[in-house]
Structure 1
Amino acid sequence: MKRTLLILAMFCSAPTFAQPPVIDTATIDNSGSQYQGNFSVNQAAGDQQQQANARAIAIDTDASATTQIRQRLRTQVDPRIDAQSAIKGNAFSNGNGVLGVNQSSGASNQQANALRISISATPQSIDDSVLKQQNVALLNSSDSTDPTPGHRQVATSDQAFTGSRGVIQLNQSAGVGNRTANTLSVRVAD
């Protein structure tokens, strides 16, 4: 009798040890309006996400601002994921400055926003060394690109970002193994 109760207790408590399901829905609703200056947001729902917002500003006689972002994922993920990413309402509206938003849902997504501003007394030509500064390396060993089951949805409200001024960098993805990046480099000779 005691063994039967012990076995029943083990099977009844098994769900207690199970991990909760991963939530694959990312939502930003009416957030970040009237931002000022440098504003960065990273939002991820799901599993094994990588996101970065990098800013570099250099002011000098011979200034040169640089950024370098390296992201690496080596994962095995079940591609049958239902994922949703949404920016709703008047999110990030009527702002002023530099805005970087990374929003992803699903699994193994990589996102990066990079901004470089250089103010220098001497003009500089655009050569290979300057172009190398546009470095955003998103490295991913992904599986085949065959269609997989699962529902993916990305939505942005018509009112989001309205009336904002400056630099807006947005990466928004839903699914598995997405890689997105925005880079902007500005050089001003004084």
Structure 2
Amino acid sequence: MSARLRLVLLATLACAFPAAAGDPADDGYDALLGYLASTDIADNALAGASGAIAVNQAAGDLNMQANVRALASGEHADAAATARQLRSNDRFDTPLQASVGIRGQALSGASGLVSINQASGSGNAEVNLVTAVLASKGIRETGDEGLSFVSASAGEQTSMDPGASANASRSVAVEATALQGFNGVLQLNQVAGSGNATSNQLALDFRGR
């Protein structure tokens, strides 16, 4: 564990036009610049940070996000994590414009375990899961049975009427200036749209003889 970690990037990017639109909500969204939704990590946010970092950002309605970690250390250590998200019969507005991004010098020079969920839109589900085991005894390799300890499922939203606007736009971005010099494990889900389900799953097993 004292060895310097190399960058591991697990990214799920979704940029989709509205999957559906329900009855207009009575919350005044239509009057707010056509319901513009955006989430950003920008400027020098988290630059130089280290350790275990979890970020959830959502702009819109009925979004679900989770960052789950299970860490274990010991002579006979083991770890498991499970996350399930389920929602049904939702009706919501979909934004005409949706964007997410990591910009500027964000996370430059950062290190450690970073899990990020960014969503702009409605009815999205995002999950990051990590299990890590440091054991002095046990098998040296993790097979399929070990990876199965990490599982995730996200239920799709239902009872939604299809609809999309020709003026709608969706964008996701990680700018070239961001994440420079990052060292460690980075999990990233970015969603611009509605009705999407994304997940990142990672299992690490360090065992001695």
Q: Do these two structures clear the TM 0.5 threshold for a shared fold by scoring above it?
A: yes
Structure index of larger Rg: 1
What secondary structure sits across from 1:140 in the alignment? coil
- Identity across aligned pairs (percent)? 30
How big is the shift at 1:159? 1.2
| Correspondence for 2:173 | 155
Change (3 A) 1:156 1:147: farther
* Rounded Cα–Cα distance in structure 2 between residues aligned with 1:126 and 1:29: 37
CA RMSD of aligned residues (A): 2.3
What secondary structure sits across from 2:146 in the alignment? helix
Change (3 A) 1:73 1:122: same
Question: Number of paired residues?
Answer: 173
Deviation track 1:66-125 (CA, whole Å, cap 9, x = no partner) reads: 111111122123446421112210111111100111110000111111111011211166
Change (3 A) 1:123 1:147: farther
| Correspondence for 1:34 | 48
Deviation track 1:9-51 (CA, whole Å, cap 9, x = no partner) reads: xxxxxxxxx6332551112212111111001110100111111
1:20 to 19, 28, 31: 28
What secondary structure sits across from 1:130 in the alignment? helix
Corresponding letter in the other structure for 1:154: V
* Higher RCO structure, 1 or 2 (CA under 8 Å, sep 6+): 2
Name stretches of at least 5 consecutive residues in structure 2 with no aligned partner. Answer: 1-25, 30-34
How big is the shift at 1:180? 1.1
When you count helix as a share of all residues, which structure comes out higher? 1
* Rounded Cα–Cα distance in structure 2 between residues aligned with 1:55 and 1:166: 15
Q: Is the 8 A contact 1:80 1:148 kept in 2?
A: no
1:117 to 109, 120, 132: 132
1:179 aligns with 2:197: yes
TM-score normalised to structure 2 length: 0.74
Change (3 A) 1:94 1:59: same
Change (3 A) 1:143 1:82: farther
Q: Is the 8 A contact 2:37 2:95 kept in 1?
A: no
* Rounded Cα–Cα distance in structure 2 between residues aligned with 1:60 and 1:102: 31
Q: Is the 8 A contact 2:142 2:205 kept in 1?
A: no
How big is the shift at 1:172? 0.6
Q: Is the 8 A contact 1:118 1:186 kept in 2?
A: yes
| Correspondence for 1:62 | 76
Q: Kindly report structure 1 stretches of 4+ aligned residues shifted beyond 4 Å.
A: 124-128
TM-score normalised to structure 1 length: 0.81
* Rounded Cα–Cα distance in structure 2 between residues aligned with 1:128 and 1:94: 34
Change (3 A) 1:123 1:32: same
Corresponding letter in the other structure for 2:27: Q
Change (3 A) 1:139 1:51: same
Corresponding letter in the other structure for 1:29: A
Corresponding letter in the other structure for 2:40: T
Name stretches of at least 5 consecutive residues in structure 1 with no aligned partner. Answer: 1-17
